[in-house]
Amino acid sequence: RIMRPDDANVAGNVHGGTILKMIEEAGAIISTRHCNSQNGERCVAALARVERTDFLSPMCIGEVAHVSAEITYTSKHSVEVQVNVMSENILTGTKKLTNKATLWYVPLSLKNVDKVLEVPPVVYSRQEQEEEGRKRYEAQKLERMETKWRNGDIVQPVLNPEPNTVSYSQSSLIHLVGPSDCTLHGFVHGGVTMKLMDEVAGIVAARHCKTNIVTASVDAINFHDKIRKGCVITISGRMTFTSNKSMEIEVLVDADPVVDNSQQRYRAASAFFTYVSLSQEGKSLPVPQLVPETEDEKKRFEEGKGRYLQMKAKRQGQVEPQP
């Protein structure tokens, strides 16, 4: 589809959340089709995780986004989908790759959305593909479980924070989940959640550096639990690390089932977003250095630094040092 002004920021760059939403829609379509390709109980595919996604090239207003999806692995209860996003300048015909993403879906029964069904097997063109996919499946399953348990904290507001501190730029968005946010079966589309997460992360980044900002990458997004229609969700973002030219923002999504007294507030999703600061000409600018104040903030800063150095080493083709 063509990118319009309401898809982009004031500088004309398409929001990362808009692209993530399109990626998720493509993944949901192909995985739901596959999971209903055989006779049996009907189901809908729900997003469980998005692997790290890099924004390789900016997309602008007026360009056409081409989103293509392919199933690359199936386990007994999950589907791995690879999605590519191309942008096309329809005036010049120029096309460029903007995103490559890997998503994991699970099929939920239409009769009972808390019941996970079995996935029809996929036919592989090479024998090695199944083994490679199994390794990716086991790795993401382990990381998703670990992430859920270490995300118990919440973002607390601070009065009169100092510039360049974590408290100065942290932001929250409160959203009542309505029918337009949800599937026909009453739980939120993963793409809607990711779009809101990117919006909050972008506000944090803009507050910190006070310039035009764009999404550079998103670390793995884990969906820990479904969000149902009628819930009030709080999307909170806080700066965790800054390098010379990038900012890492942690985003947490908490759901409060206000119409259901039997269920307490719970952590629904979490991720780390990386942003860069740009000049009016679109060139990279230095980022003001974050000033962590509390022990927890200093710990998160060091963890963010570790993730930054690890990813930098991967990009340079270096072997990661053993801890």
- Judged by DSSP in three states, 296 sits in helix
Q: State how far the Cα of 1 lies from the Cα of 3, in Å rounded to an integer.
A: 7
Q: State how far the Cα of 32 lies from the Cα of 204, in Å rounded to an integer.
A: 35
- The DSSP symbol for 185 reads T
* Residue 24: closest CA among 133, 132, 99: 99
**38-70: b or e for each residue (b if 16 or more CB lie within 10 Å)?**
eeeeebbbbbbbbbbbbbeebbebebebebebe
Which amino acids are annotated catalytic?
Answer: 9, 198
* Residue 313: closest CA among 98, 305, 102: 305
Q: Write out the two tokens for 66.
A: 């081409």
Q: State how far the Cα of 231 lies from the Cα of 216, in Å rounded to an integer.
A: 30
